Amino acid sequence: MAGIRAQYAAIPRGEPVRLAKRTSNLFRPRAATTGPGLDVAALDRVIAVDPVARTARVQGMTTYEHLVDATLPHGLMPFVVPQLKTITLGGAVTGLGIESSSFRNGLPHESVREMEILTGAGEVVRATPDGEHADLFRTFPNSYGSLGYALSLTIDLEPVHPWVVLHHVRFASATDATGAIEEVMTTGAYAGEHVDFVDGVVFTGTEMYLTLGSWADRVPDGQRPSDYTGMDVYYRSIQHRTTDVLSVRDYLWRWDTDWFWCSRAFGAQSPRIRRLWPKKWLRSDVYWKLIRFENTYHVAAWVDARRGQPPRERVVQDVEIPVARLPEFIDWFLAEVPIEPIWLCPIRLRDKATPDGANGGGEPAAGIPWPLYPMHAGEQYVNVGFWSTVPIEPGRADGDVNRLIEAAVDRLGGHKSLYSDAFYDRESFDALYGGETYAIVKKTYDPDGRLPSLYDKAVRAR
């Protein structure tokens, strides 16, 4: 860790500290920066996997693709594996992550045992749930690098089976789908069958599906494993198949090949184009590079303008809605926002807020173990994800649709992830994201304000 501390010390006092990294899974704009940054590219190793203790010690810039490659040979995987291969472990912990195991395993940071963190003060500290830096351990999730950077993390792992058997169950209304979600989250089963994974896709107000996954030691009789890394598109299969089976690796990355369904924006789902598209380029990070090119040069926006098309507003968000309010949100969204499909992923905090049952030093207020993302312990939520653009209608401005969504989420008692555009005023933001607690910890670990604040990063794009 001496190297990273030396880099920090070399940045002149008074200069902001940032990471010098070329890739990102963030969708909010980033202000142009000058001067040196911390080169953390080398912090991308899986240091050790302990198959007996079922733990892994991992550097912060390690991608989940590489992490899974290291754990699967031991018959293990992280408790939650976010959907995209290039999400890093440190990024998923400081910026949150989610997947179809989240209804039983919560969020990635809940399976962290300890972290080595480079703080805004330039110190490397060891943060654990009940140690000297328990306050940093509790507030690091959803801090987005505004308190420090995770250099290494020790995480819990869970056993895997070779196969995942899927059942795609169709529902004709959000109310019916929500009832099934509540059944799975409450009992761990649906219609008497055990469930290990659950997520869903809403195509229209009368066509929505839950995909219920279960571990299996063999491929069921009469079925063949599917492959969605080539011509076939996974999310389209949900509409046409009632059952499916995938290897554990293919299941974990089923959404990456087409970036959920966002590859259609590049024509990658057209059979004619897909045949010519190199298979190795059917990956989320390739699509992200295309998005970054468009954000820089605005080629598609120029073409739309030449064709007389209205400008478009980016609406790329994930929001958590209390399960009881989910039908209300889905119905409102489908009526007000012209985006489809949308993704559903049930989630609740783990029964133990941290791996050893500690709550991060002291009883958290009002049953909120992670104050910067205030989900209540014991409450059931559903993540709703929608990633597209909408035309800016006459009389409206860029950002108006996002503001409507923020208001609807707040009205229903939910909250949204901060990886994309946010439009809150400072007072509302602090109320929603643990501002009082954050200010205390920020002063402790970044007393000179070398790192941008969470509000500056999430709303002001600094």
pLDDT digit string (tens) for 106-126? 999 999 999 999 999 999 999
The answer to whether the beta carbons of residues 150 and 92 sit under 8 Å apart is no
Two structure tokens written together for 420? 């994309």
| Distance from the first to the final alpha carbon of the chain | 27
Average pLDDT estimate for 172-183? 98
Report if residue 297 sits inside a domain. no
pLDDT higher than threshold 80 for residue 45: yes
> Which of 194 and 302 is assigned the larger pLDDT?
194
Share of the chain above pLDDT 70, in %: 93
- Cα dihedral 298, 303, 305, 306, rounded to 10, equals 140
What is the pLDDT at residue 21?
63
Report if residue 362 sits inside a domain. no
Cβ neighbours for 351, distance < 8 A, ≥ 6 positions apart: none
Report if residue 150 sits inside a domain. yes
Q: DSSP letter string over 78-111?
A: ES---SSTT-BHHHHHHH----TTHHHH--GGGG
What is the pLDDT at residue 357?
37
Average pLDDT estimate for 286-302? 89
What is the pLDDT at residue 398?
95
Q: How do 381-391 and 312-322 pair as beta strands?
A: antiparallel
Q: Which residue has the tokens 């996954």?
A: 213
pLDDT higher than threshold 80 for residue 318: yes
The answer to whether the beta carbons of residues 69 and 52 sit under 8 Å apart is no
Which sign does the torsion angle of CA 108, 58, 152, 449 carry?
A: negative
Report if residue 57 sits inside a domain. yes
Is residue 430 packed enough to be buried (19+ CB in 10 Å), middle (13-18) or exposed (0-12)? middle
pLDDT higher than threshold 70 for residue 36: no
CA distance 131 to 114: 10
Q: What is the CATH number of the domain that holds 129?
A: 3.30.465.10
Two structure tokens written together for 456? 């500056």
What is the pLDDT at residue 9?
78
What is the pLDDT at residue 364?
44
Average pLDDT estimate for 364-376? 80
Report if residue 102 sits inside a domain. yes
Q: Is 130 helix (H, G, I), strand (E, B) or coil?
A: coil
Report if residue 207 sits inside a domain. no
**DSSP 8-state class, residue 350:** -
Report if residue 189 sits inside a domain. no
Segment 320-362, tens digit of pLDDT: 999 999 999 999 999 999 999 999 999 999 875 433 333 333 3
Q: Which residue has the tokens 């998923």?
A: 92
The answer to whether the beta carbons of residues 145 and 19 sit under 8 Å apart is yes
Average pLDDT estimate for 188-208? 98
Two structure tokens written together for 190? 């649906």
Segment 49-106, tens digit of pLDDT: 999 999 999 999 999 999 999 999 999 999 999 999 999 999 999 999 999 999 999 9
Two structure tokens written together for 417? 């992830």
What is the pLDDT at residue 405?
98
Of 214, 199, 210, 231, nearest to 164 by C-alpha is: 214
Average pLDDT estimate for 374-389? 95
Segment 411-437, tens digit of pLDDT: 999 999 999 999 999 999 999 999 999
Average pLDDT estimate for 150-162? 98
This prediction has a pTM of 0.93
Q: Is 316 helix (H, G, I), strand (E, B) or coil?
A: strand
What is the pLDDT at residue 358?
36
* Position 363 confidence tier, pLDDT thresholds 50, 70, 90: very low
- Which run of H or of E encompasses 136? helix 134-139
Q: Which residue has the tokens 């598209």?
A: 277
Average pLDDT estimate for 275-303? 91
Segment 16-27, tens digit of pLDDT: 787 766 666 676
Segment 304-316, tens digit of pLDDT: 888 989 999 999 9
Q: Which residue has the tokens 């089963």?
A: 189
What is the pLDDT at residue 20?
66
CA distance 335 to 325: 16
Determine the structural domain holding residue 117 and report its residue range: 2-160+449-458
Report if residue 13 sits inside a domain. yes
**What's the total number of domains in the chain?**
1
Q: What is the overall mean pLDDT for the chain?
A: 92
**DSSP 8-state class, residue 343:** E
CA distance 45 to 258: 26
